[in-house]
Structure 1
Amino acid sequence: MYEAVCSRDARFDGEFFFGVATTGIYCRPSCPATTPKRKNVSFFPTAAAAQHSGFRACRRCRPDAVPGSAAWNTRADVVGRAMRLISDGVVDREGVAGLAARLGYSTRQMQRQLNAEVGAGPIALARAQRAHTARILLQTTSMQAAEIAFAAGFASVRQFNDTIRQIYAVTPSELRAAKPGPTSRYGSVATAHGAGGIPLRLAYRGPYAAAEVFDYLAARALTGIEEIIGAPGKRTYRRTLDLPHAPGIAEVGEKCGDGWLECHLHLGDLRDLTTATQRMRRLFDLDADPYAVTERLGADPALAPLVERRPGLRAPGAADPHELAIRAVLGQQVSVAAGQQLGNSVVTAYGRPLPTPSGALTHVFPDAGTLAGASLAELGMPEPRRATVRTLSGALADGTVCLDAGADRDETEKALLDLRGIGPWTAGYVRMRALGDPDVLLPMDVAVQAGMRHSGAEAVDAERWRPWRSYAMHHLWNAAGRHCAPEA
């Protein structure tokens, strides 16, 4: 870790942080400041752990704005699940007791495991996230500090003021005055306000294959819910979001900055900022570790040319897990275009209108409870397939199938397979996208088989691709020609 600090290696940004005893400041590994002596350096697995130990965030490298660690996506244990739930804002909405209940652990057990693994408990982790949200609002809006305090999730203005002083060593007013300029390499705040909404820079590490991600989303975009505007290379992806407090709209640009994608969030309730940000990060797979993926997949003779051809290829997740699951069933055994048409029919018949339409965005995808009791006659599907949609919707609505950010992936896949009409392909696809599992392979998928034939890969080689088989599958889909893939 110290070697990474000495070489200012950005590959490790977000994987760990370091604090400097002589200054009381913590940084990301790529911080451009003078490298401190080894004896003065301490290492931390999270920014919250550094803050919990009394270190303040560096104003030069803005360590709170780095991509998240890819470990939280690969890990299926309680700590990994807890970290994903905390990032989704569960502690702010439901408290520590709500987080523990979702995980099936006692509050004390969960607290002990988090402290042992990441150096901070759920309250400290949520506090660090609230501070980051508050900084974004201070530097991108003209809201009063008191409004920002409650929008960011703080219980009081005093708690907000104290936290900002402890983490950033400045008052909220001073932090607002110190917003980064348009050429700033670091930070998650974009300074261009022309597009409206709250402007963000969604950080990622390593190369990012933006064209492939936008192609993937464009081929599956649902009318009224999603749209892609602009020419290739300069496209903007827009979609509606069903958030805890009010619907919202997200816009993400294809053109990459120096390690970030520009995003604008239009929120009906600013308390949803953290949740909306994390959902877009999951959709665009921004916390991935392309270096680790390349090291593993690039060692396979068949996959190496594919990996070299598309550096930084991502495995898109989901902005709405329930929506993704329903669309996966609609896409069973049909082409991408046919699945897209069925999804459009669902939105037209059952989608919830936005309070104020925005361009081509007019609806939020219907909730599971609505679809569970719907006839779905408008879809023109066989009755057994419509019954599967209703069955899945009912299971999502009553909690039989849990697709939240901290769901146990094995248990969820089993629960899906127990539903009539859902087989291994659908369950695996939902596991990969809705639950963000980076290690899913669908060997019976027609396009995967075509990609294997094209590349010379063998199914028996797949064990060597762990834990990154989802990325291998996207490389195979690209090799086969993505639009022939029969999936949602």
Structure 2
Amino acid sequence: MIDVETGYQAVRSRDSRFDGVFFTAVRTTGIYCRPSCPAVTPKRQNVTFYPTAAAAQGAGYRACRRCRPDAVPGSPEWDVRADLVGRAMRLIRDGIVDRDGVAGLAARLGYSARQVHRQLTAEVGAGPVALARAQRAQTARVLLQTTDLPVTEVAFAAGFASVRQFNDSIREIYARTPSQLRAVTRSHRAAASAPPAATGSPAVPAAGVPLRLAHRGPYDAAVFDLLAWRAVPGVEEIIGRPGARTYRRTLRLPYGAGIAEVDEPGARARAGRWLDCRLRLADLRDLTTAVQRVRGMFDLDADPEAVAASLGADPLLAPLVRAAPGRRSPGAADPHELAVCVQLGARPTRTAALVTAYGDPLPGAPDGSLTHLFPAVDALADADPADLPEAVSGLATALADGTLCLDPGADRERAHAALLALPGVGEWTAGYIRMRALGDPDVYLPTPNVTPHAANAWRPWRSYALRYLWASDPGHLTPREQESP
């Protein structure tokens, strides 16, 4: 947790870099805010800081209606940390507690439920149930404010077990009933409301659930270049011209299929605080999971200012950092897909053939050039080994039988070792999969003219350093690496 003096200075200066890193609760009002809240700065003696929104809610504070502290980017600490708490936070963000309960979370982590609860409470001020509840409430607010779903359907789509639990949570966190929360939104945003769908459920907008995915600092659009270069035919596409592109992809989610669309920030918007996104889901219970997977893909919980402050002190990287503020280290919406594509060498013809042969057709009809969900690992593991490269077959089998785990709560060191034990996987391939599939911000890959010892100065942001080097000079890449940028 950040120290009190630094926290209060951030609140006084309304420093948005700390949004999501901690939350400010004001005892005299009973409200908690993000540090950048534009309201009058509270007196220091009336302020308490909490590491999570769930901790503030558990202490009896309700969310500020002005700054909406539940909509901030996630803390970058959870992507950096590889310990039990970091792994648990990544799994909770992915919705594991809603799907499998605390017992399922503990089983994924390899600890007892009591130990997981004790560690989370000590570190972030709230246990897994409270953290999941805060996330459900934020999902419910999004659905109330962006769709016309009946309130009862919103409750279950957000993951609440009962309408009563849903009503109590919304009143406690937002000091309004669900209907009042929706009515206020309609009165303020009636002109901007999306039209209802022409077919199917009239409650969900035809364009999908519209979202603003918050991030810190500037956002460098090079992520869209990478995604365009490595788009999997039938699963991903980029439409539009540079500067005004939209990335679209299919998603394999726990309850059904989905399509995500994310707009590239224009030149004037790159210093903004969000990316526009639309999610079209077969089952709205997948909203939380889909949001977190898209956030990971676009590295929206990163702290570019912290990265720049660290890497900008290096003589080799300083000019690159100044030239491209806000560069990201993109993750993967589907870690299994990313790993398989790396093993295939990211060749479009090979990935297209794999998708056609083993992928599931998109329910209904194709959507633009999107036709399939990427093949499930079970389908690849059951395929005739003669039809797949040995490296892909071995990887799929390891993922299917649990020998290799690449889910959001995976132990990165253990996954790295399991990858190296597979046929056709070397240090570079294992590291690249770790960087993207597991969202590790501190991966070093063998790079010409840079020794591992020299790269230690870039910790804990070595993945970002590599991104700067790769973008600036292809000479830093070997031919094998150029196939997997």
Fold conserved (TM > 0.5)? Answer: yes
| 1:52–1:124 contact (8 Å) kept in structure 2 | yes
Partner secondary structure for residue 238 of structure 1: strand
Q: Does the CA-based 8 Å contact 1:208-1:313 persist in structure 2?
A: yes
Q: Helix, strand or coil for the counterpart of 2:56? A: helix
Partner of 1:266: 280
Residue 206 and residue 192 in structure 1: after superposition, are their counterparts in 2 closer, same or farther (change >3 A)?
farther
Does residue 1:486 correspond to 2:483, yes or no?
A: yes
1:226 aligns with 2:240: no
Gaps of 5+ in 1: 184-189, 380-385
Q: Aligned match of 2:108 in 83, 89, 102?
A: 102
Normalised TM-score (structure 2): 0.92
Aligned partner of 1:383 in structure 2 is: none
Aligned CA distance change for structure 1 residues 345 and 480 (closer, same or farther; 3 Å) = farther
Q: Give me the whole-angstrom Cα distance separating, in 2, the residues matched to 1:389 and 1:91.
A: 31
Q: 1:420 & 1:458 partners in 2: Cα distance?
A: 27
Counterpart Cα distance in 2 of 1:486 and 1:376: 24
* Residue of structure 2 aligned with 1:472, choices 456, 459, 465: 465
Which of 356, 364, 385 does residue 373 from structure 2 map onto? 364
SS of aligned partner of 2:256: coil
Aligned-residue offset at 1:129: 0.2
- Give yes or no for the alignment of 1:351 onto 2:359: yes
| Other structure's SS at 2:250 match | strand
Distance 1:460 1:244 in 2: 42
* Fraction of identical pairs, as percent: 65
Aligned to 1:240: 250
How far has the Cα of 1:460 moved from its partner? 3.5
Is residue 22–residue 52 contact of structure 2 (8 Å, CA) maintained in 1? yes
What are the Cα deviations for residues 26-55 of structure 1, in whole angstroms up to 9, with x where unaligned? 000000000000000000000110001000
Give the corresponding residue for 2:96: 90
SS in 1 for 2:363: strand
SS in 2 for 1:240: strand
Rounded Cα–Cα distance in structure 2 between residues aligned with 1:314 and 1:167: 33
Deviation at 1:340, TM superposition (A): 2.8
Cα RMSD of the aligned pairs, angstroms, is 1.9
**2:90/2:408 contact within 8 Å kept:** yes
2:53 to 47, 54, 64: 47
Secondary structure, aligned partner of 1:255: coil
Could you report, residue by residue, the CA deviation over 1:432-466 in whole angstroms, capped at 9, with x for unpaired residues?
000000001211xxxx42xx5xxxx6554200000
* 1:36-435 mapped onto 2 (5 Å cutoff): 36-179=42-185, 196-210=207-221, 212-255=222-265, 257=269, 258-331=272-345, 339-356=347-364, 357-375=366-384, 386-435=389-438
Q: Give the SS at the match of 1:428.
A: helix
In the TM superposition, residue 402 of structure 1 has moved relative to its aligned partner by 0.5
Distance 1:419 1:434, change over 3 A: same
Cα distance in 2 for residues equivalent to 1:62 and 1:105: 34
Q: How far has the Cα of 1:107 moved from its partner?
A: 0.8
2:275 is paired with a residue whose SS is: strand
2:38 to 25, 29, 32: 32
Determine the C-alpha separation between the residues in 2 that align with 1:423 and 1:239: 29
Q: Which amino acid aligns with 1:43?
A: F
Cα displacement (A) at 1:423: 1.1
- Any conservation in 2 of the 1:149–1:156 contact (CA below 8 Å)? yes
Asked if the contact 2:444–2:452 (Cα under 8 Å) also holds between the matched residues in 1, the reply is: no
Alpha-carbon shift at residue 359 of structure 1 (Å)? 1.1
What TM-score, normalized by structure 1, do the two folds share? 0.91
Could you give the per-residue CA deviations for residues 220-275 of structure 1, whole angstroms, max 9, x where no partner exists? 00111000001111100000000001010000000265300000000000000000
Question: Once the 2 structures are TM-superposed, how far is the Cα of residue 374 of structure 1 from its aligned partner?
Answer: 2.1
* Residues 243 and 272, structure 1, Cα contact 8 Å, conserved in 2: yes
Counterpart in 2 of 1:382? Answer: none
> How far off its partner does 1:84 sit?
0.2
Structure 1 residues 237 and 195: CA distance shift in structure 2, 3 A: farther
Amino acid at match of 1:400: T
Q: Using the alignment, how far apart are the partners of 1:124 and 1:479 within structure 2?
A: 44
Cα 1:431–1:180 shift into 2, 3 Å: farther
How far has the Cα of 1:376 moved from its partner?
A: 6.6
8 A Cα contact 1:181 1:191, kept in partner = no
Aligned residues: 460
TM superposition shift of 1:197: 0.4
Q: Give the CA deviation at 1:180.
A: 8.1
Q: 1:191: how far off?
A: 5.2
TM-superposed deviation, 1:195: 6.7
Unaligned runs of 5+ in 2: 1-6, 196-204
Q: In 1, are the aligned partners of 2:84 and 2:109 still within 8 Å (CA)? A: yes
1:178 is paired with a residue whose SS is helix
Aligned-partner residue type, residue 486 of structure 1: E
The aligned amino acid for 2:116 is M
